[in-house]
Amino acid sequence: MLIVVATLGRRPEFLTQTLDSIRSQAVASDVVMVAPLDSVTVQQASLAYGIPVLADPGSLPGAINLGAQQLKAHHEYFNWLNDDDLLEPGSLEATVNALDRNPAAVVAFGSCRYIDPQGRELWISKAGKWAPRVLSWGPDLIPQPGMLVRSSSWKQVGGLDESFSLAFDLDLLLKLKKLGPFAQVPSVVSAFRWHPDSLTVDDRTTNIKESERAKRAALSPGMRRVAWVWEPPVRLATRMAAREVQRRATRMSAS
């Protein structure tokens, strides 16, 4: 498999943890970083881990798409990690096995552990088997960091839509859903670090607007006309969940 790590090189301690979480997996993977080439942190990591670096094109979805251009014939599976996300022990083994057992499946996913900057657990997002069923109209409950995409399916949908700045992973999942089923792994496979400069935390409004755009594009014309019925409650639920995680993070930081 191929894993892309997108980083600006501004958080060396987190980047090291991310790369360690990949290298410690029982399943081997090829890794490529996409980052500013003048970053000392990135160059040091490249030498220490033997990972090639591609020049950052200026946007996160653009960086991921650039990294995905390194997909070769022997890469059956693909995913990306930001420089503050982690793979849990046994993550790749679980998701690879799930896809190997179900050749029709295009994505494997599991639960995600939300952690604070110090690595302390805040929340566990348990997606569940019904998460793909509500994807087209409800909240996106499929955590991106630990999911694994079949490379042939990634190529079939054309990778990420770079017109999205935040909800590109949801847009990808909605397109993949039309190709085949998703395989759910009944375990925690990743960790998402919740901190003040996380994109999805810092710009919740943009994320919600982009998510609604992606969902509407995936709906039939008839369903698109009545999307206004469920969008407000989904919007509210999304904001409430974000506030609850933030409340836990603030309380833990204070303690």
pLDDT of residue 60: 95
pLDDT in tens, 85-107: 999 999 999 999 999 999 999 99
List, in sequence order, every residue forming a beta bridge with 109; answer none if it has no partner: 184
pTM value is: 0.86
Measured distance CA(43)–CA(155) in Å, rounded: 29
Quote the tokens at residue 123.
Answer: 């929340």
pLDDT in tens, 53-89: 999 999 999 999 999 999 999 999 999 999 989 999 9
Domain boundaries 2-254, CATH class: alpha beta
pLDDT of residue 174: 95
pLDDT beneath 70: ranges in the chain? 196-204, 219, 223-255
